[in-house]
């Protein structure tokens, strides 16, 4: 009879699920944080979690470790489903060794990462750990190396999502940085390489943990964090939403949904939404809302580099990635941060078979000494490389301005866009008419200025008008095959959806190579 053994197993399992102690659980809750199992329960479909190695214990000795060998070793690993689709997850249990990583802890993570890669399913890490377990020394550090290696091997193969729900310091911060998306919770999660005490000792600067590496800092200043939320429940719900927009792996298409929003719906609001005057700002988000299914989209990096918008949405039920200039911020120019933000997003879309729609209203690259010395050439080239390297369906739409190198970089026909459309308000040129006229007709304008200021102004206006009539009229690019069609803004949704349907079976191969060498 196995009754006694089964009863003993039941007691052990109850102990595993309960965790180290009620006091430790209360301490976790007192910090405004959920336990690792509570987080997994919120993330996954109810009753779907299958735990791996719940009975694992460390084998280290010294510093009292031989007398403290809790089950799980401070990390819960396993698989379950989100919206019925398989995902793999590991969650640090801060109640055990502060979630610090030791040899057994790392081995469990390595195993679940290997399983995710082999199964071709997304991997979500719920991070709440104190870094490497100091008592285990270099063995713990080697464990991080194994995680980083697997993060890199899985990159572009399966979606990797890091959810920061507590501290993440030192080398541990590099794993989230290697993943596709980083979520953070305000006040309770922080990421930094060196903590406030070290910063003060070395530089004399005084800063709090949140001031150094909190959610708002990384969402607005550094760009390390893609999403920031006020509480864990909202954060984990948004992780579930993001997963609904991503394929399981790079061999599958993103999941489609049935929509009641007609593909042929006219967008009459766009006629009034976007001013014909290229100098007047407007909110590009409103354009996106008008075009996509039910006006619903998920903006990524919403608060960093706000002069460009990157978002995931659906059009006729199919997932599409959107890159758009935002005229409300810096007039929609491209700068260092905006170029990096858009380039990373284009690479992600290309890796996971998500078509890319680019909405252009860009006056150029941001001029300035800081931008040039900061490497705007190098960073702008990242966006150019990402577009040129992308083989997914790519459609560009020029709403108004598209000037200079920024026009080329933002997925023009010349860098491989499959289709390029424009509204009747488009202005595609090397530069704006005023600047161009001042260069081309400088002698005529100077001669008129010599007669009188009024004559000079009249000459300048006439030359600007002439330049616009010759080179910046809405049909100049279309006449030369650089734009496939000039369309009625109200028909934009229908035209884009028809084009996306046609491109769904697109197949393009890159030259055989080990990998490219993109600008860094």
Q: Which of 100, 342, 406, 436 is an active site residue?
A: 406
How far, in Å, CA of 307 to CA of 329, rounded?
5
How far, in Å, CA of 42 to CA of 44, rounded?
6
The two tokens of residue 306 are 């706000």
In DSSP terms, 161 is beta-bridged to 124, 181
In DSSP terms, 88 is beta-bridged to 79, 123
Are the C-beta atoms of residues 269 and 290 closer than 8 Å to each other? yes
How far, in Å, CA of 496 to CA of 491, rounded?
9
Q: Residue 103: which residues within 8 A CB-CB, separation 6 or more?
A: 58, 59, 60, 136, 139, 140, 142, 143
Q: What is the DSSP letter of 365?
A: B
Q: For the chain, how are helix, strand and coil distributed in percent, rounded to 5? A: 45, 20, 35
Q: Is 406 a catalytic residue?
A: yes
DSSP 317-345: TEEEEEEEE-TTTGGG-B-HHHHHHHHHH
Are the C-beta atoms of residues 277 and 432 closer than 8 Å to each other? no
Q: Which of 137, 156, 374, 405 is an active site residue?
A: 405
How far from the centroid of its chain's Cα atoms is residue 410's Cα? 17
The two tokens of residue 267 are 């967008």
Report CA Rg, the chain.
Answer: 27
DSSP 160-224: EEEEE-SEEEGGGGHHHHHSSEEEEETTT-EEESS-HHHHHHHH-----HHHHHBHHHIIIII--
The two tokens of residue 253 are 């298409």
Q: Token pair 């979520």 is at which residue?
A: 183
The two tokens of residue 57 are 């214990």
Q: Is 156 a catalytic residue?
A: no
How far, in Å, CA of 236 to CA of 36, rounded?
12
How far from the centroid of its chain's Cα atoms is residue 437's Cα? 40
Q: Is 32 a catalytic residue?
A: no
Quote the crossing angle between the two packed helices 453-471 and 433-440, to the nearest 10°.
Answer: 110
Q: Is 380 a catalytic residue?
A: no
Quote the crossing angle between the two packed helices 492-503 and 284-291, to the nearest 10°.
Answer: 60
Q: What is the DSSP letter of 486?
A: E
Nearest to 150 by CA among 191, 184, 106, 183: 106
Are the C-beta atoms of residues 162 and 179 closer than 8 Å to each other? yes
Q: Which of 137, 170, 223, 435 is an active site residue?
A: 170
Q: Give catalytic residues, as residue numbers.
A: 170-171, 405-406
């Amino acid at each position: 009879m196995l009754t006694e053994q089964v009863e003993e197993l039941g007691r052990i399992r109850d102990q595993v699920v309960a965790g180290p102690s009620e006091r430790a659980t209360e301490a976790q809750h007192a910090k405004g944080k959920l336990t690792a199992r509570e987080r997994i329960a919120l993330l996954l479909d109810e009753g779907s979690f299958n735990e791996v190695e719940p009975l694992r214990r460390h084998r280290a000795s010294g510093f009292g470790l031989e007398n403290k060998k809790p089950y799980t070793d401070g990390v819960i690993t396993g698989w379950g489903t989100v919206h019925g689709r398989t995902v793999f997850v590991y969650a640090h249990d801060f109640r055990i060794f502060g979630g610090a990583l030791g040899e057994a802890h790392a081995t469990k993570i390595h195993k679940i990462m290997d399983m995710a890669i082999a199964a071709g399913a997304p991997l979500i890490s719920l991070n709440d750990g104190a870094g490497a377990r100091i008592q285990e020394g270099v063995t713990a550090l080697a464990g991080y190396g194994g995680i980083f290696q697997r993060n890199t091997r899985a990159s572009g193969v399966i979606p990797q999502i890091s959810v920061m729900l507590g501290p993440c310091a030192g080398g541990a911060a590099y794993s989230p940085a290697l993943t596709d998306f980083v979520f953070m919770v305000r006040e309770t999660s922080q990421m930094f390489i060196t903590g406030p005490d070290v910063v003060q000792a070395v530089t004399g600067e005084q800063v709090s943990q949140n001031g150094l590496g909190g959610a708002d800092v990384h969402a607005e200043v550094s760009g390390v964090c893609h999403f920031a939320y006020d509480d864990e429940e909202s954060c984990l719900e948004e992780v579930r939403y993001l997963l609904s927009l991503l394929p399981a792996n790079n061999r599958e298409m993103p999941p489609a949904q049935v929509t009641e929003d007609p593909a042929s719906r006219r967008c009459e609001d766009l006629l009034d939404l976007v001013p014909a005057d290229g100098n007047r700002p407007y909110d590009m988000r409103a354009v996106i809302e008008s075009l996509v299914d039910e006006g619903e989209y998920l903006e990524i990096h919403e608060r960093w580099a706000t002069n460009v918008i990157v978002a995931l949405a659906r059009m006729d039920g199919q997932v599409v990635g959107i890159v758009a200039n935002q005229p409300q911020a810096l007039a929609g120019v491209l700068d260092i941060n905006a170029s990096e933000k858009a380039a990373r997003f284009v690479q992600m879309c290309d890796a996971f078979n998500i078509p890319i729609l680019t909405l252009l209203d860009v006056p150029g690259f941001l001029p300035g000494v800081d931008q040039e010395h900061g490497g705007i050439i190098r960073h702008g080239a990242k966006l150019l490389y990402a577009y040129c390297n992308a083989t997914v369906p790519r459609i560009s739409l020029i709403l108004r301005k598209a000037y200079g190198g920024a026009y080329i970089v933002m997925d023009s026909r010349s860098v491989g866009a499959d289709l390029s459309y424009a509204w009747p308000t488009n202005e595609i040129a090397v530069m704006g008419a005023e600047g161009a006229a001042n260069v081309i007709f400088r002698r005529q304008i100077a001669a008129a200025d010599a007669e009188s200021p009024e004559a000079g102004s009249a000459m300048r206006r006439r030359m600007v008008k002439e330049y616009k009539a010759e080179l910046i009229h809405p049909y100049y690019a279309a006449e030369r095959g650089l734009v496939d069609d000039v369309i009625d803004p109200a028909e934009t949704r229908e035209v884009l959806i028809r084009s996306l349907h046609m491109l769904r079976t697109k197949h393009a191969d890159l030259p055989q190579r080990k990998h490219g060498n993109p600008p860094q």
